[in-house]
Amino acid sequence: MKDMPISPAESVYQFLSARNPNPLQPADLIIGFGHFDLRVAYHCAEIWRAGLAPLMLFTGGGGAGSADLNMPEAEAFAQALFERIPDFPRDQLIIESLSTNTGDNIRFSLELMKQAEWQVDSAILVATPFRQRRIMQTWAKEADDISTQNAPPESDLLTDQAVFAEKREDLTTQLTGEIERLISYPECGWIAPTEIPLEITRAVARI
């Protein structure tokens, strides 16, 4: 039986998720990018438990959909981490809770890493799947001297649509908006340019 063709929305979702084709390799640091999606923090915990990096950093202040966390996103991530790993070494965690956009997530985090005298040459980036590619491109703009791997939580379009629906948000609209950002943000100097494949452009037009 032939594989069923995937929907235009699924094609765009998979492109934006930017998953590494190969297993994760050891790195110096795991960075969880704030969101209301606490699966990001749980996935960071799993990566650390697997022994893939000794250090952890959570970044994020307030954001769309995260008001009900009642605290900055990075602090909510830290709580989730300690729920999963109560004895996580606190001197191996940085919480950056002032940023409100992806560029500041990275810039503020780099400054805190410098203050902590963390020597980081490689990092594993963890974000809610549809934001992963933009975060990767923002990192390339702000900190291209630190090599990275992408590690969004394992998920799929239907699962994530349900996660966003609980917040009364339409993930499909978010997908098309992300493609627009990948096209327009490099012109503003906010992220590194990335090529949008023709099939993704066509898929966006069909959503």
pLDDT value of position 1:
43
Strand partners, 126: 32
Pick the closest to residue 133 from 23, 53, 17, 28 (CA basis): 17
The rounded distance, in Å, linking the Cα atoms of 124 and 54 is 11
CB 94 within 8 A of CB 57: yes
pLDDT value of position 3:
60
176, 189, 198, 200, 203 from 206: Cα distances, Å? 10, 29, 13, 10, 5
In a domain, 96, yes or no: yes
In a domain, 32, yes or no: yes
Range of the domain at 51: 8-16+26-206
In a domain, 160, yes or no: yes
**pTM of the shown model:** 0.93
- Which domain CATH number covers 58? 3.40.50.620
In a domain, 199, yes or no: yes
User: What letter represents residue 38's amino acid?
Assistant: L
CB 9 within 8 A of CB 207: yes
In a domain, 21, yes or no: no
Number of domains in the chain: 1
In a domain, 198, yes or no: yes
In a domain, 104, yes or no: yes
The rounded distance, in Å, linking the Cα atoms of 72 and 55 is 20
Q: Where does residue 75 fall: left (phi above 0), alpha (psi -120 to 50 degrees), or beta otherwise?
A: alpha
Sequential pLDDT tens for the chain (207 residues): 456 678 999 999 999 999 998 999 999 999 999 999 999 999 999 999 999 999 999 999 986 666 677 899 999 999 999 999 999 999 999 999 999 999 999 999 999 999 999 999 999 999 999 999 999 999 999 999 999 999 999 999 999 999 999 888 899 999 999 999 999 999 999 999 999 999 999 999 999
Pick the closest to residue 190 from 120, 84, 104 (CA basis): 104
In a domain, 3, yes or no: no
